[in-house]
Amino acid sequence: MLWSYVLILSNTGIRVGEARDLEWRDIRPFKMEGSDETNFAFRVKGKTGLREVVSRTSEIQTYLGRIVGLRTKELGTKPSQDSLVFCHPDGNPVCSFKKSFTSLLKHCDVEFDREGNKRTIYSLRHTYTTFRLYEGVDHYALGKNMGTSVEMIEKFYGHTSNLRQVGELTKSSNRAKVESIFDFLAP
């Protein structure tokens, strides 16, 4: 469950509380434009209200499939549409993956980031945001998907903007080298 939880949060940017309340009926498959691939939208209710969150990748299907397999094994049948996605075998919500997540980070020796800050489950939201900015997603569209403002994205992730704009910042014109201003001015 933790494995799929980490992958889903880091590929959707949903908040911990939004994931805690997520039910199967809140997940909607859709066909990607111009493709046969199926992606997923998550209907979540968070601190900014109700919104639909589009997953970063269609691989979400694999992660959701793992959870369905786990729950089917536990229940002897597929979970109901109104049951929680992230729950204990008895169907009660997993209130926190904090201990197991911390244990996983320690085991992988990645408990702290390069600045020495302790990673938390909320770090998965930061991972999502950073990846999407590196991949060139517009700040406004990203903010709408995440339920946050462009100002917050700029405040916390402004350092990623230059890498996002690398094409713009490195483009040059192919003008011929000008030897002198007098080459352009008539006497």
Q: How far is the C-alpha of 110 from the C-alpha of 118, rounded, in Å?
A: 9
| CATH number for the domain harbouring residue 100 | 1.10.443.10
Q: Is residue 178 part of a domain?
A: no
| Model confidence, pTM | 0.83
| pLDDT tens profile 110-127 | 999 989 999 999 999 999
Q: Is residue 176 part of a domain?
A: no
Residue with the bigger pLDDT between 76 and 176: it is: 76
Q: Is residue 182 part of a domain?
A: no
Q: Is residue 184 part of a domain?
A: no
pLDDT at 95 over 60: yes
Q: Residues with Cβ < 8 Å from 1, sequence gap 6 or more?
A: 67, 70, 86, 94
Q: Is residue 179 part of a domain?
A: no
Q: How many domains does one find in the chain?
A: 1
**Which residues span the domain enclosing 21?**
2-170
97 — pLDDT class (breaks 50, 70, 90): very high
Q: How far is the C-alpha of 142 from the C-alpha of 88, rounded, in Å?
A: 31
Contact status, residue 143 vs residue 48, Cβ threshold 8 Å: no
